[in-house]
Structure 1
């Protein structure tokens, strides 16, 4: 069965070759690549090298990609090897389909069409009609060698000249439409050229095959940059401009290659390559996609993302980080560097030279170090609600990482930064004065007693914190209670739970919080008007906690319960969230019936 080349490319992209080979033979790092004793012939000195998408033995000359390796090492046929790898990658094997075979054949034909168009546009750039385009490129500092190396061209005026020229090569308007260089009307009939009066940029896939074009208009027309449409050859979300050249530059002779650097546009990539940064690539006018990140990691384990220093660059960095998190593992991550505001790589190179760009790339920071700054950008002196919302977002973001150990490390790092920035630095938003140890319980105001009771319940029933932590974060507490809360949350975040009460008490005492722990317990012991705890709350400490939380602001509590009720009714059922809501509804009902109150 003939298989669709696009399916095979997707399979190779989803299947890193090193882990597959590593199951058969022990691999050791050799720069950016791997080496081993060849599994196909006996040897004592490693001569078998594994690169990002292929292997090669310098001893027996065995060579191939991940599919070839499965065939050679397991004695499987090509279809059997493909099916085994596809199953492991979660891909469904295509069924025999004459239409698919016809599409594959047409895709090969479309490649020929694109190459013919490319030859025409590249030739036009040096003819009188392309004079303006050539002047523009030279004015941007590109040499003739660079212009030729990237195959830059000029599309002409778009008045039917391309179709007429292609007709002499037996290329029809319908073929130009299918290749993505002519527009069609609503009935699919080719009407006019897509690219006209534009400098053209050939877009190639990672293997260097021409799949589409981009074009930049000269003057004030819109859009300034235009990419070809989706075709049988071209999927915008899977292709990175310049990746075919960057792969070779990053390999750089077994580990001494260039950094894989992601920037924003065609001209940035070309200017960087000309300046010696041969690992530069760019998405095609959109945010980085998961498929593009997978393609990046096929080339390097820690690509550098370089964004502009303005608000748009900040948003792009946040979006890239959020897209990457569900794909991270210990062997692949991202690094970030930020350009000076108002600069892009092209302008920075022309103004300050390659050394300035090199300094930025060298200073790129790992994602774990910059993620908190990205997610908390614009948060200044937050109140309790903003702190709780940010803390929840940090925990949710870390949970996106599928590797549990790595997710735990990110969670700890993010929350350490959170507490350092918004708690220990005075970011409590004007907390009340400390509760003096000598203050008689009877003279404390009711709200302060309730705040003490809330902390005491957690000390005596540590499991309560898992449900109430967001609400607990929102409270404005005096300094000593806030310090106790911070330590409790730190302990919880370290292992997603608190230790048993006796162990918790000892830990808090060693942290210098023994006195405040004793004080809140004493206040809880005097909290009722002669009623035993079980009279109102039974054995449910969660009900009790929500009851005293609600007493701090009954109207706010009722509004929160209403909002959560509406949210849960409108969305998917979350059993834990429903249980918490039931408990809070019960607490609200207790209040309405005149339930337990503290001494005033």
Structure 2
């Protein structure tokens, strides 16, 4: 149903945003507004603001912004019509009556809902009767208790071509209604319609409102032509848009449960009974676009759980292709791969919740699955084959619609490709340690963006871990909170590699403001070392810093240099390039600190006024900050003096 702007405005005028939001968020008055903790992100300081006069909310932590309708859609996962209907009822606003055609269809749907409810009760009763003994035995063997059977309304379809038809007919249901609901098989070549489901354990499929709209039936006989049989498409049921257990999962997800998609009905039930309430499954098909959209309404990053066999991996790779064109910032998928030969039901029964938690903890991001598919059988022993891999990756990248996501995937895949080619070179006989970094650790790998700037891939924690004591110095291990800002590390690392800079730039170094404690500590130590006498070379400077007790800070700063233009921090860089890099990077450092202060002012102004002018200012500052990231190497002729030739990915 389409809702006129007048109707929507009438609902808005009768319901204050703070009242609707206040049911989910604890709000405190802040001047003419209200503020509270974000319902979309975990935070300690309020960044969520509500303005009743202007009729909207804004969440600075996630960027979400909207009115009472979008709030229900964002927080409870409702569709727009559902949100409108609920709020209209609260506001006492009568919605327009549907057209005669729409009214007739609605009456028809209500009739079919009643038919499906009668059928469900028939199947439930049959399961608990003497005729359902074999079906109960099957369910007991799968670990489904009577309480679980009742919770999911499981049933049994007798092995009789007319058992359901006769039951519904006695209840006054016409044969055409049974056919339209998908319960009977009929056709021009079938003189007498007969029951679709026979000798099957029955799984009712419910819509988001909890109404029975279809069934899935699991055959008990090994000779059945189809192990699982679903209802056909009907006015109530569209298989590609529904998820089994979708309604309860949506409610659980909005209470904080992880959203997990598995492959079958039994798997869903096993996962839910193990405590994973927001588990769903497609209905006998590969994941569809509509089902993926439904998953994303529940969670920005649902976990897809697949069997570890070849079929499971194929299903995972199909999901990758489905998701790529629809990725958006903050919206993706994770993939949990089960041990080969086990499904979630097996895992729950053998290892309980802990076994499932262990698998979910190893869930892999979509980028990992994409890379595995493209690289696992790749032949890269010749330039042509390496080029073919790059061409395949470029083709995949072209399917990502969002430019920002595409850019980050391009960088990620380029970095992985470079690492793969480097390892291939090592296997082909390159000198040992050719790709190693400082102290024998795996060194940073570099790739070049299409715009010419460099992207660094740092070694993973797994690569570093075997090196022992140096592990504690890694920001990867010490945590994101301890990470040193790359630009601060780059400024200091240039001095560490080229102490002669201190003679000309010590005063400028003294005036720099560093946010990170280790960087500021090392800055002061550098100035102290230069005050005595400028060390002649990097080794002498390192020794002087050690004497000042700054060794740990020095090592952490060195390990933090991951920027695209970090090569001027190496001893072999030419003095002209070192000078140019120093001047440019320090300028960027000053600019970022100035913009960061302006950003805080813009955020405070917008929090107070919530008007278009302050929002435009905020977005402008954010854009200017984003524009200076990764621009260290964007200097005319940069690197020429060091003999660095341009080389593309």
Q: Same fold (TM over 0.5)?
A: yes
**Are the equivalent residues in 1 in contact too, given 2:200–2:217 (CA < 8 A)?**
yes
TM-superposition CA deviations, 1:470-519 (whole Å, max 9, x none): xxxxxxxxxxxxxxxx98x72427679xx9xx978744764x645x99xx
Partner of 2:142: 140
Deviation at 1:138, TM superposition (A): 0.8
Partner of 1:67: 84
Match of 1:168 among 150, 167, 170: 170
Taking the TM superposition and a 5 Å limit, the aligned residue runs for 1:372-387 are 372-381=371-380, 383-387=382-386
**Are the equivalent residues in 2 in contact too, given 1:177–1:183 (CA < 8 A)?**
yes
Distance 2:35 2:82 in 1: 18
Match of 1:236 among 214, 234, 239: 239
SS of structure 2 residue aligned to 1:125: helix
Partner of 2:210: 208
**Are the equivalent residues in 1 in contact too, given 2:163–2:195 (CA < 8 A)?**
no
Q: Assess, with a 3 A threshold, how the Cα gap between structure 1 residues 375 and 494 changes in structure 2: closer, same or farther.
A: farther
Distance 1:391 1:74 in 2: 57
SS of structure 2 residue aligned to 1:203: strand
Distance 1:67 1:508 in 2: 63
SS of structure 2 residue aligned to 1:53: helix
Q: Under a length normalisation based on structure 2, what TM-score does the superposition of the two structures give?
A: 0.56
Q: Structure 2 unaligned segments of length 5 or more: list them.
A: 4-16, 22-32, 60-67, 432-444, 455-630
SS of structure 2 residue aligned to 1:211: strand
**Are the equivalent residues in 1 in contact too, given 2:317–2:369 (CA < 8 A)?**
no
Deviation at 1:260, TM superposition (A): 0.5
Question: Cα RMSD (Å) of the superposition?
Answer: 4.3
TM-superposition CA deviations, 1:111-146 (whole Å, max 9, x none): 110000000000000111111101100110011111
SS of structure 2 residue aligned to 1:199: strand
Tell me the number of residue pairs that the alignment of Structure 1 and Structure 2 aligns.
415
**Are the equivalent residues in 1 in contact too, given 2:379–2:386 (CA < 8 A)?**
no
Partner of 1:363: 362
SS of structure 2 residue aligned to 1:379: coil
2:450 corresponds to 1:492? yes
Taking the TM superposition and a 5 Å limit, the aligned residue runs for 1:49-448 are 53=73, 65-67=82-84, 78=95, 98-186=100-188, 191-220=193-222, 221-252=224-255, 257-381=256-380, 383-421=382-420, 423-426=421-424
Deviation at 1:299, TM superposition (A): 1.1
Deviation at 1:103, TM superposition (A): 2.6
Partner of 1:29: 38
Partner of 2:548: none
Q: Under a length normalisation based on structure 1, what TM-score does the superposition of the two structures give?
A: 0.61
Distance 2:90 2:151 in 1: 39
Taking the TM superposition and a 5 Å limit, the aligned residue runs for 1:448-527 are 490-492=448-450, 506-507=638-639, 510=642, 513=644
Distance 1:295 1:345 in 2: 21
TM-superposition CA deviations, 1:48-84 (whole Å, max 9, x none): 997663779xxxxxx995436997999998569xxxx
**Are the equivalent residues in 2 in contact too, given 1:261–1:279 (CA < 8 A)?**
yes
Distance 2:344 2:638 in 1: 56
Distance 2:308 2:324 in 1: 22
Partner of 1:441: none
Q: Assess, with a 3 A threshold, how the Cα gap between structure 1 residues 271 and 192 changes in structure 2: closer, same or farther.
A: same
Q: Structure 1 unaligned segments of length 5 or more: list them.
A: 4-16, 57-62, 81-95, 434-485, 518-600
Q: Assess, with a 3 A threshold, how the Cα gap between structure 1 residues 67 and 375 changes in structure 2: closer, same or farther.
A: farther
Distance 1:75 1:262 in 2: 38
**Are the equivalent residues in 2 in contact too, given 1:55–1:64 (CA < 8 A)?**
no
**Are the equivalent residues in 1 in contact too, given 2:411–2:449 (CA < 8 A)?**
no
Q: Larger relative contact order (C-alpha < 8 A, sep ≥ 6)?
A: 1
SS of structure 2 residue aligned to 1:286: coil
Q: Assess, with a 3 A threshold, how the Cα gap between structure 1 residues 40 and 292 changes in structure 2: closer, same or farther.
A: farther
Deviation at 1:97, TM superposition (A): 6.3
SS of structure 2 residue aligned to 1:425: helix
